[in-house]
């Protein structure tokens, strides 16, 4: 397996406005989703809570795709390959 440069992904995570579907989430919940996406992109090695983190990231990916179909550009989670 080759190393992946996630520098651009990380800066996108920090600078991008949250997708519309995150509108009903608290700040803490948004951070949890971002952590899950970060984990799936950069680690995904089976730590405690692995299944929950992967599930959250996959759901974020699916919500991004649905939002994109409805209105426009993809957001941070949509760049994750849903394993």
Torsion of CA 31, 34, 36, 41, to 10 degrees: -160
Predicted pLDDT of residue 73: 60
Domain residues for 70? 24-79
Decide: pTM greater than 0.75.
no
Contacts of 48 (CB under 8 A, 6+ apart): none
Predicted pLDDT of residue 52: 93
Predicted pLDDT of residue 8: 45
* Domain-embedded: residue 55: yes
Distance CA 51, CA 75 (A): 22
Summarised one tens digit per residue, pLDDT across range 7-55 is 444 444 455 677 888 888 999 999 999 999 999 999 888 888 899 999 9
* Domain-embedded: residue 43: yes
* Domain-embedded: residue 9: no
């Amino acid at each position: 397996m080759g190393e992946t440069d996630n520098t651009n992904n990380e800066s996108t995570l920090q600078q991008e406005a949250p997708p519309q579907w995150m509108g009903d989430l608290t700040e803490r919940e948004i951070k949890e989703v971002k952590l899950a996406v970060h984990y799936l992109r950069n680690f995904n090695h089976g730590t405690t809570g692995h299944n929950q983190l992967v599930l959250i990231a996959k759901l974020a990916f699916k919500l991004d795709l649905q939002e994109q179909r409805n209105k426009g550009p993809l957001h941070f989670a949509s760049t994750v390959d849903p394993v």
